[in-house]
Structure 1
Amino acid sequence: MTVSRLIARPMLASMFVVGGINALKNADALAAKAQPVADRFVPVAQKAVPQAPIPTNAVTLVRLNAVTHIAAGLALATGRAPRLASTVLAASLVPTTLAGHRFWEESDPAAKGNQQVHFFKNVSMMGGLLLAGVDTDGKPGLAWRARRAASDAKREARQLAKDARREARLAKAQLT
């Protein structure tokens, strides 16, 4: 792991670990903000995955999201499955942002500005998480490996065809 990854991953993850701990401590207070988002997304999730036990209680959803932030944040910070951890954090950041920073509903200009800053901070963090999610740590990713294997197979097939034509010409020359 490079020094930049060694430093950047814990820095990016720190907000999620601290925020997750805070959300666990204040789940009841945060549930009121999460309720409108839960009311819209829980039925969609239940329809998409009917066999999954999706909680409907906003306090439970806040706690579940907090545990997700802590676990995935620690995984990202320690370099354990960093691509998966950052992808999970990016996905969980969507409802967190929509529930916590609804600046379009604020009427007070100061509160609206504050919520807008936090909303776009989360959007920026999502960008960082998406980059971390595709970071292969300097190693070739699966897509590159697949393209490379296809290219190698194509080159090998061309070489085999060329060799077969040469062998056929030699065999023909020996017969005549």
Structure 2
Amino acid sequence: MLNDLLRQQNDLLILLARLLLMALFLVTGWKKLTNFTATVGYMASTGAPLPQLSTVVAIAVEFFGAIALVLGMYTRPLALLYVVFTLATALMGHHFWTQSGAEREGNKINFLKNLSIMGGLLLLAITGPGKYALWP
């Protein structure tokens, strides 16, 4: 019974999954876009190579890529790109293994959240965009 209900709503649930997976990226991408100079400073503090270029790439992926994925454009390749991007940001931004105390725990949770997001993105890469998409 539950399987039948889920199957009937499959495409709607895939659309919802795309929206939920991209919510964080849309918010953080917009923040980076509207606070470019501060983001460059943050990128420099994390040791990102070429902080200005890293900021442009982050904005392109996080904000504009997220819009494309929400719309169902190039869903499979974008989902795989996001897996790599999310892993890179986890390794660069949440290196809990070098920290201690509350900072370590907070970054460990964020690192694990990145891994969870990667799991959802891999599922999206497998399932594709569903029927509510501009480019399946």
- Specify the alignment match of 2:51 in structure 1: 58
How many residues were matched structurally?
Answer: 119
CA-CA distance at 1:138 after TM superposition: 6.6
Report the Cα distance in structure 1 between the residues aligned to 2:85 and 2:120, rounded to whole angstroms.
14
Structure 2 length normalisation: TM-score?
A: 0.76
Shift in alpha-carbon separation, 1:103–1:11, aligned structure 2, 3 A: same
Report the Cα distance in structure 2 between the residues aligned to 1:68 and 1:31, rounded to whole angstroms.
15
Mind listing any 5+ residue stretches in structure 1 that lack a counterpart?
A: 39-56, 140-176
Alignment equivalent of 2:95, drawn from 94, 98, 102: 102
- Specify the alignment match of 1:117 in structure 2: 109
Question: Which string of whole-angstrom CA distances, capped at 9 and with x for unpartnered residues, describes residues 52-106 of structure 1?
Answer: xxxxx12321321221121221111111221122111111112211111111111
Q: Relative contact order, CA 8 A, sep 6+: which one is greater?
A: 2
Moved over 3 A (4+): 136-139
Structure 1 length normalisation: TM-score?
A: 0.61
Contact 1:86 1:130 (8 Å CA) reproduced: yes
Aligned-residue sequence identity (percent) comes to: 28
RMSD across aligned C-alpha pairs, in angstroms?
2.1
